[in-house]
Chains A and B, each alone.
Chain A
Amino acid sequence: MRITITVALAFAAAVIAAQGQEPQWTPPRTPDGHPDMQGAWARRGTAINEAKAPSSPLGEFNTTGQPYPTIFNSGVVTTLDRAALASRKTGVVDPPDQVLPWRPEADAARREFMTHMIPPASLKYVEKAARCILPGPVEGDDRSPFFILQRPGEFVLAYEYNHVTRVFHTDGSPHVGKKIRLFMGDSIGRWEGDTLVVDTTNYNDKTSLGRTIPFHSEDLHTVERFSMVSPNLIDYQLTIEDPKLFTRPIRVAAYFMAAQQGTEPMEFACIEGSQTLPNVFGIPFAPAR
């Protein structure tokens, strides 16, 4: 009998997955009526897993493809979560074959760039993540939790990694002026039903999108969609547009999975302990006391 039930459940899950439907479920609400996504989360799957990418001289160990500690895996518990998780696709979903629509000149430039990364020919070729600067829209450290805070007019994604704080303005304010360029860009959010849609512009050209996409232009534009699909799972879609890199936008699917109950933010300081550049160039960064 148990076997029959298991088979039936597996069949039901398979049907749900095949139809791409989320199970019926209503998210909790904040006092202003939007889905309440607050809490501690683990980000999964934001890596731009490009097919036919040049092999990175820095290896396969990728800031968005690192092994995850099991502490974050215990957050997902309900049947709804398991069903939603089972049907997740992660990584590049458009184009479906993960062959990115590079502009030939941009592809050539990044391949040339990558040949100078080990050893770095100069500061320009040092991997951005090693400089402890703000990481741009894709990179970060998914071994550390993320925290979502919501208040009327704002939705905040606070990384533990390098104390990055992304504030999405949902009060209808416009983007800042074009001359203001930011590592994390300027983010305006709006609710489309229960989905938070975040439009980010005003990026500078000083971050990377991964080891094999070591630069982008100031024309980078991202659109992110956050939707809660089960009690412990947020679906996350990231559209990346940079007409100087790609001939058309690409889309990455990922998700946020609830971290273990009681996870509190700690401090992930970066530059204060970093010896990367001093080691590479033989010049200390901080003064000796």
Chain B
Amino acid sequence: MKQPTGLLIAISLWAAAPLMGQPAASNLPRTADGKPDLNGVWQALNTAAWDLEDHTGALHAAPGQSVIEGGEIPYRPEALKQKQQNFAARERLDLSEAVCYQPGVPRAMYMPYPFEIIQTPKLIAMNFEFAHARRNIITAGTPHPDGFPDFWMGDSRGRWEGNTLVVDVTNLDERTWLDHAGNYHSDALHVVERYTPIDPTHIQYEATLEDPKVFTRPWKISMLLYKILEKNARILEYECVYYLQDEKYGNAKPVGVSK
């Protein structure tokens, strides 16, 4: 607790701000089992996928303000050096941008592509347009399995706290980044997400990231998810792997085989 109390109060007020003026909980659409209805096509409207922190515009990178509470990621000193190396080589080393690998969590939630939430009582699926990634959020009350390997999209277990869907994410593969600016994590990353609908078309999304190998303390991002209201809203396919393969191998000759 080295932070000044004033700052803490400021953060608390800031965190509470989006909740002010929200409609009575009874106004939220509900599923048949009485939970807030998060079904539909959603998208974050920010530039966090390029850089979670404040950043100036650059070629092919839109400018944007930080989505992090407190503004900056609390890196350990040696980890900050790694982040800076990542940033310098980001065009080559960002696996989601360079080769369309699944973006991991939380990055999938703020990629500049829509995703669909399909909500059922025991399983909430998220179908992402980017690289046809999918999250399976299990809400059956079962725990994270023991001894599982790491997954590109992690292992997600959800529960409802009032109108908030709380999702605990573990087993995250250390090869994903948090954005295109080289912000990264280790295999010790633990993410806790909170999805709070503040009205029928907006979800307040928060994620707390804890990774003692890389960060000095847990830290939090916060943003809105916007519901796509067009009648024909649906997830199409951004199957960039196919086109990358065409580009890399389209004119290549097989090697190491004899006929």
Residues of chain A touching chain B, judged by Cβ–Cβ distance below 8 Å, are 30-32, 38, 119-123, 131-134, 147, 149-151, 154, 156, 158, 162-165, 167, 169, 173, 176, 180, 182-184, 206, 262, 264-267, 269, 271-272, 277, 279-283, 285-287, 289
Residues of chain B touching chain A, judged by Cβ–Cβ distance below 8 Å, are 31-32, 39, 92-93, 95, 98-102, 116, 118-120, 123, 125, 127, 132-134, 136, 138, 140, 142, 148, 151-153, 175, 231-232, 234-237, 239, 241-242, 244-246, 248-250, 252-257, 259
Q: Do A31 and B99 touch across chains, with their CB atoms under 8 A apart?
A: no
Q: Do A163 and B142 touch across chains, with their CB atoms under 8 A apart?
A: no
Interface centre among A133, A271, A282 (most CB of B within 10 A): A271
Chain B residue with minimal CB distance to A159?
Answer: B134
Complex Cα gap A181–B162 (Å):
42
Beyond A123-B250, A147-B123, A272-B102, is A289–B237 a contact (Cβ under 8 Å)?
no
Q: Which residues of B contact A206 (CB under 8 A)?
A: 242
14 contacts between A and B (CB under 8 A): A32-B32, A119-B254, A123-B246, A123-B249, A147-B125, A151-B119, A158-B134, A167-B235, A267-B151, A271-B100, A272-B152, A277-B245, A283-B249, A289-B175
Q: Do A156 and B237 touch across chains, with their CB atoms under 8 A apart?
A: no
Q: Do A267 and B118 touch across chains, with their CB atoms under 8 A apart?
A: no
Q: Which of B132, B249, B254 contacts A164 (CB 8 A)?
A: B132
Q: How far is the CB of B130 from chain A (nearest CB, A)?
A: 12
Q: Do A176 and B138 touch across chains, with their CB atoms under 8 A apart?
A: no
With A151-B31, A280-B254 given, name 19 new contacts (CB 8 A). A123-B246, A123-B252, A133-B239, A147-B123, A163-B153, A167-B116, A169-B234, A173-B232, A264-B136, A264-B138, A265-B138, A266-B151, A267-B153, A271-B101, A280-B257, A281-B252, A281-B255, A282-B252, A287-B98
Beyond A38-B120, A165-B125, is A287–B242 a contact (Cβ under 8 Å)?
no
Chain B residue with minimal CB distance to A123?
Answer: B249
